[in-house]
């Protein structure tokens, strides 16, 4: 029987990756950690697409706004095939190094309630994959394994572009991506792991954004996390937003966390115990205090003509009615400090809102913008990004 292309690739690539393994009998700890972590990530991605494709019928895609169901099915099938190839190849490399591939139980049912709910999660999955491989570059000492990982990362970036287009967004919304550490990636992906899965890495506490409507410039974000339970004092807590290309995060009081002006594309968000901005540089950020996160959201302020030919609903496919607090641009600008500015002092306890509530309670919070304003309507061309089921790729965590 003729072998499949994926099996041939696994046989061909794995020896290249571990060609020196029989002679040195060992692998450095950083490279081993990166390979084990990549194994988990690729299993997660491959299983996600397998479950998604088995869940939905062609009519589900056309009902979600696609001009033809063959377009998303073809693209998701191709992406899933790539991920399955990555799994088999990384598994072969681990075995050749004398390491055991992971066996983890994964469940995505919470993200597969509809095509419109699945697509934002797929975008977050792929963006997290790109960020994870970027972060792994500082762990991998073996140059051959580093080149191997980089070849996967470029493939994941192409997947990200396709998924952006499938939601009517631009394929390349930012000039840079945000790298993540393994413990940060697990804070996002951990919600899909339903059984034992020992990576040797302690994850950050999970974080979700709980807004249920459109996310755009001026939207005040609300959060849920086990770290933000009712007994936790969040008076001095801050939300930290990193956008690709910024040297440090945009730091805001947690009770006044507003999507800044001039944002387009992915935004990575943490909660910290103070207002000190987080570094985009991983070497520096790994030593900074974090309460929870990150989580990933997409703010699609610039639509894409090609993407909207594929999906007539664009980024607004299946979005629920807006139910978020949105500020006028001038009000949003006044709340958001410049990334290069000195961080402001933490808010007093009298002005801190409960981050788990569905709306702000601070009496000093600026009023919501006119709901009839065109900037609040659905559609990428009006500067609106859509978040479905909370915006995180994981279910909103239940407070302890």
Q: What is the pLDDT of residues 99-118, one digit of tens each?
A: 989 888 899 998 999 999 99
What pLDDT is stored for residue 52 in this prediction?
96
Percent of the chain exceeding pLDDT 90 equals 58
What pLDDT is stored for residue 311 in this prediction?
85
Opening angle at CA 275, ends 247 and 333, nearest 5: 70
Opening angle at CA 312, ends 309 and 315, nearest 5: 100
Residue 259's nearest CA partner among 166, 90, 151, 391 is 391
The residue among 75 and 191 whose pLDDT is bigger is: 75
Give the mean model confidence (pLDDT) for residues 279-295.
Answer: 95
What pLDDT is stored for residue 19 in this prediction?
47
* CA–CA gap between residue 58 and residue 67 (Å, rounded): 11
What pLDDT is stored for residue 233 in this prediction?
87
* Fold held by 5-192: Ferritin (1.20.1260)
What pLDDT is stored for residue 196 in this prediction?
82
- 29: tokens are 């700890």
- Provide the mean pLDDT of the chain: 78
**Range in 17-31, 43-57, 67-81 with the lowest mean pLDDT:** 17-31
Percent of the chain exceeding pLDDT 70 equals 72
Q: Which residue has the tokens 């690709």?
A: 244
pLDDT at 11 over 60: no
What is the residue-wise DSSP string for 301-352? Answer: -SB-HHHHHHBTTGGGTTPPPP-SEE--HHHHHHHSPPTTSPPPPPPPGGG-
For 204, which DSSP code?
Answer: P
Three-class DSSP category at 242: strand
Give the mean model confidence (pLDDT) for residues 382-395.
Answer: 39
* CA–CA gap between residue 257 and residue 259 (Å, rounded): 7
CA 378 to chain CA centroid, Å, is 22
Give the mean model confidence (pLDDT) for residues 4-18.
Answer: 46
Q: Are 263 and 243 in contact (CB under 8 A)?
A: yes
Given pLDDT bands bounded at 50, 70 and 90, which one contains residue 323? very low
The domains of the chain are located at 5-192, 208-386
pLDDT tens-place string over residues 362-378: 433 433 333 333 333 33
CA distances from 62 to 72, 114, 214, 246, 320 (A): 10, 12, 22, 38, 18
Given pLDDT bands bounded at 50, 70 and 90, which one contains residue 330? low
How do beta strands 223-224 and 208-209 pair? antiparallel
* pTM of the predicted model as reported, rounded to 2 decimal places: 0.75
Given pLDDT bands bounded at 50, 70 and 90, which one contains residue 8? very low
pLDDT at 340 over 60: no
pLDDT at 153 over 70: yes
Give the mean model confidence (pLDDT) for residues 43-70.
Answer: 95
């Amino acid at each position: 029987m003729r072998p499949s292309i994926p099996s041939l690739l696994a046989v061909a690539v794995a020896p290249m990756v571990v060609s020196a393994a029989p002679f040195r009998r060992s692998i450095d700890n950083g490279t081993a950690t990166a390979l084990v972590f990549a194994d988990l990530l690729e299993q997660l991605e491959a299983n996600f697409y397998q479950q998604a494709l088995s869940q939905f019928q062609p009519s589900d895609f056309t009902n979600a706004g696609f001009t033809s169901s063959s377009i998303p099915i073809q693209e998701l099938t191709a992406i899933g095939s790539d991920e399955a190839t990555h799994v088999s190849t990384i598994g072969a490399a681990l075995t050749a190094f004398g390491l055991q591939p992971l066996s983890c139980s994964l469940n995505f049912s919470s993200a597969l309630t509809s095509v419109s709910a699945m697509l934002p999660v797929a975008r977050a999955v792929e963006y997290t994959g790109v960020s994870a491989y970027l972060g792994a570059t500082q762990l991998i000492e073996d140059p051959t394994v580093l080149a191997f990982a980089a070849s996967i990362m470029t493939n994941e970036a192409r997947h990200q572009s396709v998924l952006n287009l499938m939601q009517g967004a631009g394929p390349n919304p930012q000039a840079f991506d945000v790298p993540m550490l393994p413990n940060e990636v697990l804070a996002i992906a951990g919600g899909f792991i339903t059984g034992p899965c020992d990576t040797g890495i302690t994850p950050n506490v999970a974080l979700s954004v709980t807004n249920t409507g459109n996310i755009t410039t001026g939207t005040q974000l609300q959060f849920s996390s086990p770290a933000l339970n009712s007994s936790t004092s969040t008076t001095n807590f801050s939300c930290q937003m990193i956008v690709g290309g910024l040297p440090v995060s945009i730091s805001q009081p947690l009770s006044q966390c507003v999507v800044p002006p001039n944002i387009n594309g992915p935004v990575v968000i943490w909660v910290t115990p103070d207002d000190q901005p987080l570094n985009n540089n991983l070497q520096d950020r790994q030593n900074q205090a974090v309460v929870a996160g990150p989580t990933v959201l997409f703010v699609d302020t610039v639509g894409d003509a090609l993407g909207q030919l594929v999906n007539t609903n664009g980024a607004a496919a299946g979005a629920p009615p807006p139910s978020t607090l949105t500020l006028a641009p001038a009000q949003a600008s006044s709340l958001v400090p410049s990334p290069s500015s000195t961080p402001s002092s933490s808010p007093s306890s009298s002005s801190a809102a409960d981050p788990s509530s569905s709306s702000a309670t601070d009496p000093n919070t600026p009023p919501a913008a006119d709901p009839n304003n065109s900037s609040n309507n659905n559609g990428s061309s009006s500067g609106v990004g859509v978040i479905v089921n909370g915006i995180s790729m994981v279910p909103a965590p239940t407070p302890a």
